[in-house]
Amino acid sequence: MKETPVRIPHILSMADLSREDIEFIFQTTDRFREVGGRPIKKVPALRGKTVINLFFENSTRTRTSFEIAGKRLSADVINITKSSSSVSKGESLLDTVKNLEAMAPDVLVVRHPAAGAAQTITRMLKARVINAGDGAHEHPTQALLDLLTIRDHKKTLSGLHVGIVGDIAHSRVARSNILGLQRFGSKVTVIGPKSLIPLGIEAFGVGVSYDFKAVIGDLDIIMMLRIQGERHDRLPFPNLREYSRFFGLNLQLLQKAKSDVVIMHPGPVNRGVEIAPEVADAPYSLILNQVKNGVAVRMALLYLLSGTEE
């Protein structure tokens, strides 16, 4: 075993990752991609390591891909959800994490509805922590797989114009992608109704548009977002039909886009609301490429944070 150089101990925010860090993660990802195409999809890199997926919010893609990533690396992977744990009996996050720490995990992958939860956990245990989404704050592993997917298709991450469309105010995916894309010098425009775009977001170096139709022709990448209903007290627009009319992506609106535009969506998709089914399933839609890349990126992160070399 040889120590692998890792500059940061935890993956909490895209703000912590330099361009060089991201490129290093992608180099490692590229080494692991082919494992998914093998008849036996397993390498012994993390044999003897323990990964705990601690999910206080629902997840399909992130939780499953972290589990597959860990298992493809031969780690022992344990999944804990809010409903299946003693959190449902009133145990606190602090006590839950202290008890897990007593079982000596190497990596804890955490999803929690509170912003900063993953960061807080790092002060409670020795294990490496990966933020798998903390409230409306950040989802760094989603941004990494999104950047990789863009790089795969555009052969660069620089000089692009990326439109992120929808519920910007409540989207951890938007925040993490903005930070990541800016590292590479791409331009980001956030697009949505005024009620879903935070006031003053221009200060973070992004463009703002309330008119999707007016800007779509200038975009290289269109990243559609789900309305984060679980983070709203009330509907922030008159009704879903009206939202869809102005901010949904359908074939008619897509006619105004560049001929080589690609469409992304972190999922889960609400077909017919933010994206028409025929757009979500079209050849220029990278939605399932994003999911596929998620496994390889998460293999790289588990491997790098565990600090071992085959």
Sites of contact with ligand CP (CB under 6 A):
59-62, 133, 139, 142, 266-268
The residue among 65 and 308 lying less far from ligand CP, judged by its C-beta, is 65
Minimum CB separation of residue 139 from ligand CP in Å reads 6
In whole angstroms, the minimum distance from the beta carbon of 180 to ligand CP comes to: 15
* Minimum distance from residue 39 beta carbon to ligand CP (Å): 28
CB of 248 to ligand CP, least distance (A): 19
Q: For residue 173, which of 188, 193, 156, 195 has the smallest C-alpha distance?
A: 188
Q: What distance in Å separates the CA atoms of residue 299 and residue 306, rounded to the nearest whole number? A: 11
Contact 148, 26 (CB under 8 A): yes
Residue nearer to ligand CP on the CB measure, 249 or 253:
249
Number of H helices, E strands in the chain: 11, 9
Annotate 17-70 with DSSP letters as a single string: --HHHHHHHHHHHHHHHGGGGSSS----TTTT-EEEEEESS--SHHHHHHHHHH
Please state, in angstroms and rounded to a whole number, the distance separating the CA atoms of residues 137 and 115: 5
Nearer to ligand CP, 45 or 226 (CB): 226
CA distance 188 to 158: 11
Cβ proximity to ligand CP, 248 vs 266, nearer residue: 266
Is the CB of 62 or the CB of 308 nearer to ligand CP? Answer: 62
Helix (H) or strand (E) holding 176: helix 172-183
**Please, what is the minimum distance in Å from the beta carbon of residue 62 to ligand CP?**
3
